[in-house]
Chains A and B, each alone.
Chain A
Amino acid sequence: ETGVTQSPTHLIKTRGQQVTLRCSSQSGHNTVSWYQQALGQGPQFIFQYYREEENGRGNFPPRFSGLQFPNYSSELNVNALELDDSALYLCASSLARGHPNTEAFFGQGTRLTVV
């Protein structure tokens, strides 16, 4: 186990609703990244938080937003849900943002289904 926990594990929402996903990072890790993994695809980077500030963003619209708290846990919020938002959402924590060899530890993911 990596020590990264995500909640909930499964979620069903209706199109147009809003959802909040949560992630507790591994102890001591100050960087959290979120990824979206559609069925049959590799994970796609959504954004990263470092010391409570957004530190980079992938090609996702503004209705995807996030927060990082002083204890380095994080939330991913998605507004105005669309059917294509159905995916596995993965959270990854790492010790530092700054080096290519920084290993990322992933949680088990939240499987979101939008109907």
Chain B
Amino acid sequence: AQKITQTQPGMFVQEKEAVTLDCTYDTSDQSYGLFWYKQPSSGEMIFLIYQGSYDEQNATEGRYSLNFQKARKSANLVISASQLGDSAMYFCAMREAGAGSYQLTFGKGTKLSVIP
């Protein structure tokens, strides 16, 4: 079974509107972390936001917020007031405490296109 599932290969959003990118995950660990990264065409993975499995509040970082629903094992990224510069690939990733090397496991990504 896939550990990280991103079901939206591509999304379009109008500039200044909000958009939600979906992510579901699968783990039996109690302690884990969920990350969202942005990857522009240049290739660099840019960290956006983090949510810990024990965090009771949803994480927020500026225009980014994470809608964390632990029972449903979902960690959706919400981008408010979209800007043209938000056009990029977005990856959801998980780090599990039970994995000895603490590697990040990534989903396949969602390509976001912001329309003027």
Interface residues of A (CB under 8 A from B): 2, 33, 35, 40-45, 47-48, 55-58, 88, 90, 92, 97-109, 111
Minimal beta-carbon separation of B90 from chain A (angstroms): 10
**Chain B residue nearest to A105 in the complex (CB):** B47
Minimal beta-carbon separation of A107 from chain B (angstroms): 7
**Chain A residue nearest to B103 in the complex (CB):** A45
Interface residues of B (CB under 8 A from A): 4, 31-33, 35, 37, 42-47, 50, 52-53, 91, 93, 95-97, 99-109
A43 to B91 alpha-carbon distance, docked (Å): 9
Are the C-beta atoms of A45 and B104 separated by less than 8 Å?
yes
Measured between beta carbons, the chain A residues less than 8 angstroms from B93 are 42
Minimal beta-carbon separation of A70 from chain B (angstroms): 20
Measured between beta carbons, the chain A residues less than 8 angstroms from B37 are 106
